[in-house]
Amino acid sequence: MHDDVRINESIRVPEVRVIGADGENLGILPTRIAFEKAQEAGLDLIEVSPKAKPPVARITDYGKYKYELKKKEKEIKSKSQATETKVTQVKIGTGEGDLNRKAKKVGEWISEGHRVKIDLFLWGRYKYMEFEFLKERLERFLAIVTESFKIADEIKKSPKGLTVIIEPDKSGSGKTKKAGI
């Protein structure tokens, strides 16, 4: 990714803004003189910001510079965890044991940081039941989810029945899973 970094003689601009080995600003110098200063210190001249006017070059050890870049990239990558929306489906007639198992799975997904879409699947005559009754059935399922969550998308009708989207509650205020219910 950073193989296009120019160092030492491969820096072909007439002058560069130089940052010394200890991070001090040495000002704008002709590239040849900056390279000589780096050699005197037994270090490399590395172009760190080629698009700046004039480009910025740092006097440092190239191996150390690459190590620092890799470390920064790794840190950024670890902070950007990909979240996906998991989906689970419950039905009006789903038994207590199955509901508890599904609620446990939803809790695991929430603790891993994923959003979860929960569908109350309706078929046949169930589609024509009272909305409030069906909403209460879905809320009953949400009540047995053990992890703390917040409702991202309220309970509403969907082509399959009723649907709700929940996500981890990052506010840290304990069990706020009743929020919105």
Q: Give the separation between CA 64 and CA 97, rounded to whole angstroms.
A: 57
* The overall pTM is greater than 0.85: no
Number of domains in the chain: 2
Residue 111 sits in which domain range? 85-168
- Dihedral of alpha carbons 23, 29, 31, 37, sign: negative
Sequence-separated (6 or more) residues with CB below 8 Å from residue 8: 35, 38, 44, 45
Of 78, 111, 134, the domain-final residue: 78
User: 89 with 45, same domain?
Assistant: no
Could you list the pLDDT tens digit for every one of the 181 residues in the chain? Answer: 456 788 888 888 889 999 988 888 888 999 889 888 889 888 998 888 888 888 899 999 888 888 988 998 888 877 766 677 888 999 988 888 999 999 999 999 888 888 899 999 988 888 888 889 888 888 989 998 888 888 888 889 988 899 999 988 876 544 444 444 4
